[in-house]
Amino acid sequence: MKKLFVLLLLCCYHATSMHAQQCLSLPDVDAISFNGAGYNIDVYTKIGPDQYSRKSLELKSKETILDKSSNMNPIKWKLNSHEDTLNRKDIDDSQEKFIEAKDLHTADFNSYIGKAFTVNDNGKWKREGRKSTYVLKFLRPELAIMQQLVYEDGKHVYNYSTLSSDIPDSVVTWRSTNTKQLIPLVLEIKGGKRIFLLYDRYIPYMIFPNPEGGIIYSTLDRLKPVEIEDAGEKYNGSKPYDFQYFNIKRHYGVQQTETGKYILLDQLGQNVLKEEYDSIKYDSRFIIAQRGNEFDVFNLYLDKLNIGKPKVVKEVADTQVGCIEVLNEKGAVYYDEMGEDIGSPDKRRIGLCGTVPHWEHTILKKKGCYQLQIYTNGPGTPIDKDERYWLSDLLPTDSVAFLDGQKSFHRTGNSWIIGEIDMHPEWIRVGRKGKFGIVAYEYKQPKNVKPKLITKRVYDWDEKTEIYPTVKVTGKIIFPIDNDSIIMQSDGLIYFYKDNKVGIFPRDKAPVYDEIKQTTRSFYHITKNGIPGWLDIKTDKEYWE
């Protein structure tokens, strides 16, 4: 074990930009063999004419204490000795690929960083259902990606992942149908000959570098090598897809140090941010590190963003382009992954289920009595349902509506996925004598109720509907009917107005602000007692200008 540690240090001396755990130097190894499955690699040392000793090289997970949200497994090399001695015929009979150090090239790993390579597999590798080009990119020393790229517009390339920057669908460029992030590892054997292993919980790719680029073996086509060649800037247009489907929790983890501070580790065990912080958040597309009242924010390229002097930084979920909302000296601002000030971010595309129920809530008035109808239908329901509830405590002269002031609204089983606001149908806005309040009801059918089944022929289909008896319900006033106005806005907040001030129900019992206006998802510009400031609606914390 001590000898292995020395070898690791020796390798790092020759590749100073690499982490110790990234490189393994075995200067006595004359050859390697592998079966193309992506797991074990055998290494051989020649001990006599046509005689070899053998060791097995594995990559194992290393036990490390990290934050509970992390799924990252730090890796370590493991070299297992075998007692057997093999001749070349024994090795060839095993049907493994045997490659000798003398047939390889010396290569500077650093010369690959920042480059893209075309994989010339001639269509042999499995693809995502369309003709695409495999492209290998080395983004930085500890991260490479393998992409399947197509050159076309975005009308038929459906991307459901957040991207690093926006590409309009009308633009013809290189677009990714699949991106796989990998950790480059370097195995150095006799004569300084190097082999690049691309790791993702196993080794799906092995590269034997040469001056033109190299030869790559893949688990997609075992033991059949293909060439890679330097592509120059050909695929630069695909950069927004570099972190497509990137799972940040698989690549990083937060660890507490002996000082009580925190560092961000990658799978190689290195301190990614090079510093300690009081807290580190890494939800999806950004790393937000805080020390005291100061923030350092990094994108997935590990570039530190220039976003002024933030008081608060939050990552915005489910956007088309990675986005944060920041409260700084400019006010409340959205920034993209490149640190550019942007307008309101677009939501990420999502796939919806077509067989979900639909609900139509309607307030009806019949003979001076108010009823709430809940009609359930749609492909997610075998039989339509018509339920009605008599709001027995309301007066014929009352003004009755849902919280948004409307008499009806429609929702489906997909509503929560696409972010439609909760209309709170159990809360009814009641206007009485020019004042407004909120009355709460419970809509529940009695036990053993027997609805009437009605069948109606619609085209060639029998449409069945269950008609339930009207249920009498009595409400409870949960907000007094003494406000000048009550309205639910598109942000889902319920605003109430009284004496020229505004409050938020149910947070406030009395209005507290002179003015309140949403600027970003979390931040609202407020004026309170004549003093301007900002409200973080997610934490209810106020900041003053």
Please, which residues have CB within 8 angstroms of residue 476's CB and are 6 or more apart in sequence?
A: 439, 440, 441
Domain count, the chain: 3
Domain identity same for 195 and 74:
yes
Same domain membership, residue 202 and residue 70: yes
Q: Is 240 part of a structural domain of the chain?
A: no
Q: For the segment 257-292, what is each residue's pLDDT rounded down to a tens digit?
A: 999 999 999 999 999 999 999 999 999 999 999 999
Judgement on whether residues 276 and 403 belong to the same structural domain of the protein: no
Last residue of a domain, one of 213, 235, 257: 235
394: pLDDT strictly greater than 90: yes
Cα–Cα distance measured from residue 528 to residue 7, given in angstroms and rounded to the nearest whole number: 66
Q: Is residue 541 part of a domain?
A: no
**Over residues 301-329, mean pLDDT:** 96
Whether residues 225 and 270 share a domain: the answer is: no
Question: 340-365: string of b/e by CB count within 10 Å (b at 16+)?
Answer: eeeeebeebeeeeeeeebbbebbbee
- How many angstroms separate the CA atoms of 323 and 301, rounded? 14
* Per-residue pLDDT at 10 exceeds 70: no
Q: Is the same domain home to 161 and 203? A: yes
Is residue 532 domain-resident?
no
Tokens standing for 239? 């950069």
The answer to whether 326 and 312 have CB atoms below 8 angstroms apart is: yes
Residue 513 has pLDDT above 50, yes or no: yes
Pair (105, 141) in one structural domain: yes
Least confident of 61-75, 230-244, 525-539: 61-75
pTM of the shown model: 0.88
Q: Residue 101's pLDDT band (boundaries 50, 70, 90)?
A: very high
C-alpha 466: how far from chain center:
42
Same domain, 153 and 203: yes
Quick: pLDDT tens for 452-503: 999 988 787 888 999 999 999 999 999 999 999 999 999 999 999 999 999 9
Same domain, 287 and 393: no
Q: What residue numbers bound the domain in which 81 lies?
A: 1-235
My answer on whether 120 and 38 are in the same domain is yes
pLDDT value of position 8: 40
Specify the pLDDT at position 191: 95
The rounded mean pLDDT for the chain is: 92
Residues 6+ apart with CB under 8 A from 160: 348, 349, 350, 351
Domain boundary among 318, 342, 366: 342
Q: Of 342, 371, 398, which closes a domain?
A: 342
Per-residue model confidence as pLDDT tens digits over 398-439: 999 999 999 999 999 888 888 899 999 999 999 999 999 999
Q: Are residues 214 and 299 in the same domain?
A: no
How sure is the predictor about 96, in pLDDT bands with cuts at 50, 70 and 90?
confident
Q: How far apart are CA 352 and CA 356, in angstroms?
A: 9
Q: How many CA atoms lie within 13 A of 423 on its CB side?
A: 19
Of residues 24 and 346, more confidence is placed in 24
Same domain, 181 and 299: no
Distance, in Å, from the CA atom of 534 to the CA atom of 532, rounded to the nearest integer, reads: 7
Mean pLDDT of 88-93: 86
Mark whether 87 and 138 lie in a shared domain: yes
Contacts 24+ apart (CB under 8 A), 164-167: 164/239, 164/240, 164/241, 164/242, 164/243, 164/285, 164/299, 164/300, 164/321, 164/322, 164/337, 164/338, 165/239, 165/240, 165/321, 165/336, 165/337, 165/338, 166/240, 166/320, 166/321, 166/346, 167/237, 167/240
173 within a domain of the structure (yes/no): yes
Q: Which of 207, 211, 191, 208 is nearest to 199 (CA)?
A: 207
